[in-house]
Chain A
Amino acid sequence: MKYGMVIDLKKCVGCYACVVKCKQEHFLPPGMTWRKILMSETGDYPNATKHMYPILCNHCADPACVKACPTTATLQSDDGIVTIDQDKCVGCRYCLIACPYQARTYNADEKKQYFPGQGPTDFEKLGAKLYPHQTGVVLKCNFCRERIDAGIEKGLQPGQDMEATPACVNICPAKAMVFGDLDDPDSEIARYIREKKAVQLHPEFGTDPSVYYVIN
Chain B
Amino acid sequence: MIQTRRYEFLVQNTPQKEWIEKRGILMWLAMFFIELGAGAFVVSSIVGNQLGMLLGWLLCGVLGGGFHLVYLGHPTRFWRMVLSSGWKTSWISRGLAFVTLFLGLGLLHMVLLQWASPVTGLLIAANIFAFLAIIYVGFVMASVNGIPLWNTALLPVLYLVLGVWGGLGLTILTLEATGATTIAVGSVEEWSRIFLVAFIFIVFVYLLTIRYQGATGKTSVRVIVAGKLAPLFWIGVALFGTAFPVGVAIATWVAGLSIPTALLFVLIILELLGDLTLRYCILKAGLYAPLIPSTSYA
The residues of A with any CB-CB pair to B shorter than 8 Å are 36, 38-43, 51, 53, 55, 64, 66-73, 88-94, 96-102, 106-109, 134-138, 201-202, 205-206
Contact = CB atoms under 8 A, between A and B. Distances in A.
Nearest to A88: B80
B7 A39 contact: yes
B93 interface: yes
Nearest to A135: B73
A106 B73 contact: yes
A93 B144 contact: no
A53 B146 contact: no
Most buried by B among A64, A93, A205: A93
B261 interface: no
Interface residues of B, number: 42
Nearest to A93: B18
Interface string B260-298: 000000000000000000000000000010111111000
A41 B73 contact: no
Contacts of B16: 97
Nearest to A109: B73
B81 A92 contact: yes
Contacts of A42: 293-295
B181 to A, nearest CB: 43
Nearest to B150: A97
Nearest to A104: B18
Contacts of B93: 69-71
Contacts, number: 136
A36 B7 CA distance: 10
A39 B6 CA distance: 11
Most buried by B among A42, A92, A106: A92
Nearest to A43: B295
Contact of A53 (B19, B74, B291): B291
Contacts of A102: 9-10, 14, 146, 288, 291
B145 to A, nearest CB: 6
A53 B96 contact: no
Contacts of A135: 73
A53 B293 CA distance: 10
A67 B292 CA distance: 25
Contacts of A96: 18
Given A53-B292, A70-B86, A91 B144 contact: no
A40 B77 contact: no
B295 A137 contact: no
A70 B74 contact: no
B84 interface: yes
12 contacts: A40-B295, A42-B293, A70-B84, A70-B96, A89-B73, A94-B90, A97-B147, A100-B145, A101-B291, A102-B146, A137-B73, A202-B291
Interface string B17-56: 0110001000000000000000000000000000000000
Closest 3 CB pairs of A and B: A91-B73, A136-B73, A100-B146
B292 A51 contact: yes
B238 interface: no
A91 B76 CA distance: 11
A201 B90 contact: no
